[in-house]
Amino acid sequence: MTLRISELHAVEILDSRARPTLAVTLATADGTRVRAGVPSGASTGSREAVELRDGDPARFGGQGVSRAVAQVSGEIAEALAGRDFGSAADVDAALIELDGTPTKSRLGANAIIGVSMAAARAEAAARGAELWESLSAVAHTPPRLPVPHFNVVNGGAHAANALDFQEFMLAPLGAPGLAEAVRAGAEVYGRLKARLAAAGHATGLGDEGGFAPAIDSPEEVLGLLVEAIEDAGYTAGREGVAIALDPAASEFWHEDHYVVAGERLSSDELIDRYEEIVGRFPVRSIEDGLAEGDWDGWVRLTARLGEEVQIMGDDIFVTNPAIITEAIDRKVGNSALIKVNQIGTVTETLEAMRICRDAGYTRMVSHRSGETEDTFIADLVVGTGAGQLKSGAPARGERVAKYNRLLELADIQPELPYGLA
Ligand code: PGA
Ligand code: ZN
pTM, two decimals, is: 0.98
Angle between helices 109-127 and 131-139 (to 10 degrees): 100
**Least distant ligand from the CA of 41:** 1
Say whether pLDDT at 109 is over 90. yes
pLDDT confidence tier of residue 229, bands split at 50, 70 and 90? very high
Please tell me the predicted confidence (pLDDT) of residue 36: 99
Say whether pLDDT at 6 is over 90. yes
Q: How are strands ordered across the β-sheet holding 257-260? A: 253-254, 257-260, 263-265
Say whether pLDDT at 1 is over 90. no
Q: Average pLDDT, stretch 344-353?
A: 99
pLDDT confidence tier of residue 268, bands split at 50, 70 and 90? very high
Identify any residues that bridge with 318 across adjacent strands, giving them in sequence order: none
| Chain-centroid distance, C-alpha 152 | 15
| Spatial separation of the C-alpha atoms in residues 176 and 69, rounded to whole Å | 44
Strands (DSSP E) found in 15-115: 20-28, 33-37, 84-85
The sign one gets for the Cα dihedral 257, 335, 272, 295 is negative
Q: Average pLDDT, stretch 145-165?
A: 97
3-state secondary structure 232-272: CCCCECCCCEEEEEECCHHHHEECCEEEECCEEECHHHHHH
Catalytic positions: 208, 339
Collect residues with CB below 5 Å from ion ligand 2.
246, 248, 288, 314
Which of 312, 342, 368 for mutating ligand 1's site (highest number of atoms within 8 Å of CB)?
A: 368
Please tell me the predicted confidence (pLDDT) of residue 8: 98
- Return the ligand 1 atom nearest residue 40 CA: 3
- Cβ partners under 8 Å of residue 221, min gap 6: 153, 163, 165, 168, 213, 215
CA of 141 to the centre of ligand 1 (A): 26
Q: Average pLDDT, stretch 50-63?
A: 98
User: What are the backbone dihedrals phi and psi of residue 293, each rounded to the nearest 5 degrees, phi first?
Assistant: -90, -5
- Nearest CA to 65 out of 52, 79, 48 is that of 52
Burial 301-316 (b: 16+ CB within 10 A, else e): bbebbbeebbbbbbbb
Percent of residues, the chain, with pLDDT higher than 70: 100
